[in-house]
Chain A
Amino acid sequence: MPEIFLKNVSKHFGKVVAVDKLNLQILNNAFLTLLGPSGCGKTTILRMIAGLETPTEGQITIGNKVVFDSDQGINLPPNKRDVGFLFQNYALWPHMTVYQNIAFGLENLKWEKNEIRDKVKELLSMLRIEAFENRYPSELSGGQQQRVAIARTLAPGPKVLFMDEPLSNLDSKLRMEMRAELKRLHRDTDSTIVYVTHDQQEAMTLSTMVCVIDKGRLQQYAPPLPMYKNPANVFVADFLGNPAMNFIDGRLTEAGELTFGGLRARFEPFNAVTLGARDVIVGIRPEYIRIGAEGPLEATVYSTLPSGMETTVKMNVNDISLTSVVFGDVDFPVDRKVRFSFNKATVLFDRESGRALARGALTIVS
């Protein structure tokens, strides 16, 4: 069944390199997310796999079929690739009713009339939009349009589904709801999904694999939770997680002593690695900074953002500012002193290259 391979795929727009020699293997049944800031090339990658954009060079395989190969001059049109595509703006045809929109793809496949009717009815009820069968897209809300678009994409039963930021036009409540639906859909349809988003939370919560892209280059390719724990570099570490990871410039000595932000600490890597003396960036996740009545360190509260379930605290220690997350409905008075401690996992990055060096425990010396 459809595994997707990208081999050295590049896309140039004039002199701009949108995608640079990308290699990617997407396993069957994966829910792969292409994650990155806007303009990083993720949509271009998706459109190249779907056949809506022609790569400058490289090879793309879907299943056992080579759909694009610059060297052999192969370029299958999108309609021959047996894929489904969900557009960010839904791209519903304004002149067709909901029913006609969904049935259109099946008509192209020369299905029998009653077969089409049955399939459309099935999809309408599956996505709970039976009531809107005879409406035109402009008469639907954003969420309803989204469901129609999904139904239309699913109708011909494609084994590979491409989704280009499909939830970004919805309000946040609806977005949460549709996320759950999409995840369920992935299970129920037994399909491979390639999903583009700039929302790290969407990527974390939905996917089986995340592929972080920046400036047209692959940054890291891993399942979401391991990636969260073990980011490959500063970019990935910064992009994943909300609130974002704390980054503090520091210096590591040969002996493993770490100085940063006026603090002295010992760093013990979890895995045995030799790090050597170098300039580093210390990366600490906000949830690993614990504020409490006790703790070896003291900070001044700068600002707090209580959400009920958790409170984000921005605080200053010496010259550095740290972000911490405290769970529960607590709040702290601004400009007061609080005590805190660092909790186990910290990631060290090489300051020059930005690459992750090691994960380890941090113990404050003074």
Chain B
Amino acid sequence: MEEVKARNVALNRLRGRATAWFSKPANIILLAFLVALVVLTLYPLLSLLTETFTVHAGREARAARQSAGEFTLYHFERLFATRENDYSRIQFYEPFVNTLTVSLAASLIAILFGGTVAFLVTRTNLKYIKFVSAVFTFPYIMPSWTLALFWETFFKNVNIGLKTSNGIMAAVFGVYMPEWFVYGAFPIALVLGLHYAPYAFILIGTMLRNMDASLEEAATILRTGRFRIIRRITLPVVWPAIMSTFLLVFASSMSAYSVPVFLGSPVRYYMLSTKMKSLIDSYPGQAYIIAGVMILMGMVILLLNQRVTGSRRQYTTVLGKSHQIRRIDLGRANAPLAILLVIVLSLVAVAPLVTFALESVIVKAGDYSLSNMTLDFWVGTDLTRRLDQGDSTGILLNPKVWNALGYSLALALLSAFIAGSCGILVGYGVAKRRGGALANTVNALSFFPYLMPSLAFGAIYLAMSSKVPWLRGFPLLVLVGSVKYLPFASRSGLNAMLQLSGEIEEAAVITGVPWWKRMLRVIFPIQKAGFLSGYLVPMVSCMRELSLFVLLVPTSNAILTTMLMQYSEKGWAQFGNAINLLIIIVVLLVNFIVNRLTGASIDKGVGG
């Protein structure tokens, strides 16, 4: 009797606990995302791993002397330990070292440049602060190859690289730059550093702005010199932001594909990303190993980052009432510094556009005279016969271009909608159950896609899709885009949720408002700007994404970026430049409209 009773009590308790657990929407959300993310990120990762031990059909099978589908260690042996013809050195070790060097240099450039400007904007009385902070995020909004392409078209000449034609620098000014300046590690690191400097500007700048002024004032009172304050107080306090920037820029640079294609490949300077692309068709096993190495590198940085920021020195920078910070008076250095910055930023932000516009209207490469210019590549007809090159119509009259634009927009909108909404849900779940094992796991998993190099990510999904018949073409692109950009969305979702005190929702719970209504009517409206940024970043990123989609897009219905790639590969430079300009204008326009309509902005979404 007693025993039965006791068992009943125990059962009831268990049932009660389960009901309580499932009655909290946060738990259900987390559970659902745990399952989804395991399928969408862990499973691909595992399949990537198994691919590295599997023989693939074709050249690989012949080289390994095994039949397709068999288990093999051949890829590892071949890639890591082949002395013959310096194979391993050329295929892996050199690109590996190059990747490390370039990513490290790019991170340093981004942190130094973006961090310095962030400091100038938040802590000094620099002139033109409004202009500087507005233009600074430009390079991030534009596709990453923009600067690379600009660099090449501007500085290339007939003595170096592919030795095809002179760029503006050589043709107009007669200055022939040396090869190291135009191609290879230096320009790649510089371009990536400039492209990702907005990360540093936004992350470090936000931290500086939120940093309590009294931390610095306390040091001033204790007779600390200005530079010592910066070195001993300011820098250490913003250190987590610097580390986050480092993680983001390093991971992004490492997997950057288009920049090293434009600035490295012409002189056979390879990074892991470009090497992977060149191997993936003939030796996919080795390509997957390279992808694995890149993911591993990303994880190492993530761990390092967590060790630094998750330590005992908890960084709460916002302490209480804060006063206006005393801005450092730059004195006589102010005007020259401000003007220099304005010039550099204009060059980085505006010069590429001008160059692309110019390059899209000249008929014969390297000749920048007015007589050599035409709008045919934009609006001309019957070009194949008249100019003997490229498509028959200018891009604005080409239905294929409009098709691609439509696809690009649809892809960006759909992916952004899915990623953004999921990001809010993940942010909600993680914030509500903060610190719990489930929340931590989901949070980590949702960041995982960021560490996967886009190209590898695309490759894995391509492999996966062969097993799922309906997952082809456009739906596949949307899925990949959504998962890949979930990290951004979930970061901004989480940040927005963390700023919201729990009581706000509880007040609605008490009065019996159902969960979906709390989300739509209470939580979302309050943190609208933050949440919308979670939609904006994936949208803008998708719009200008190339490496993620390049393996997945069927040639029949291209998106704008792959179309640009096709034109570049065919050597139709004018069409390529025109499309490039078109992409940039569309991206800027989308960004501008969303920002105007909703107040959401890129900088709120880069929470890394």
Give residues in A with beta carbon < 8 Å to B.
47, 50, 52-53, 77-80, 83-85, 87-91, 93-96, 104-105, 108-109, 135-136, 138-139, 152-153, 155-156, 169
Contacts and interface: CB of A to CB of B under 8 A. Distances in A.
| Binding site secondary structure of chain B | loop
Contacts, number: 90
Interface of B: 212, 214-215, 217-225, 228, 232-233, 236-237, 239, 312-317, 319-321, 323, 326
26 contacts: A50-B221, A52-B326, A79-B223, A79-B224, A87-B214, A87-B217, A87-B218, A88-B321, A90-B319, A91-B319, A93-B218, A93-B236, A94-B314, A94-B316, A95-B236, A95-B239, A95-B313, A95-B315, A104-B219, A104-B232, A105-B224, A108-B228, A139-B314, A153-B221, A155-B222, A156-B223
Contacts of B317: 94
A85 B218 contact: yes
A53 B222 CA distance: 16
Given A84-B221, A95-B237, A105-B222, A139 B320 contact: no
Nearest to B214: A91
Given A78-B221, A87-B217, A156-B222, 10 more contacts: A79-B220, A79-B224, A80-B223, A89-B319, A89-B321, A93-B219, A104-B219, A105-B224, A138-B313, A139-B312
B212 A89 contact: yes
Given A105-B223, A108-B228, A136-B314, A91 B218 contact: yes
A47 B228 CA distance: 22
A9 to B, nearest CB: 18
Given A88-B320, A94-B237, A52 B314 contact: no
Given A108-B222, A156-B223, A93 B314 contact: no
Contacts of B232: 104
Contacts of A80: 223
Residue of B221, B236, B237, B326 with most partner-chain A CB within 10 A: B221
B215 A52 contact: no
Contacts of B214: 87-89, 91
B215 A91 contact: yes
Contacts of A85: 217-218, 221
B223 A52 contact: no
B331 to A, nearest CB: 15
B320 A89 contact: yes
A108 B220 contact: no
Cβ-closest 5 pairs across A and B: A105-B222, A138-B314, A89-B320, A89-B319, A91-B214
A16 to B, nearest CB: 13
Nearest to A77: B220
Contact of B222 (A89, A104, A136): A104
Contact of B313 (A52, A88, A94, A156): A94
A93 B223 CA distance: 15
Contacts of B221: 50, 52, 78-79, 83-85, 153
A80 B225 CA distance: 11
Nearest to B216: A91
A350 to B, nearest CB: 36
A95 B220 CA distance: 17
A89 B319 CA distance: 6
A120 B517 CA distance: 57
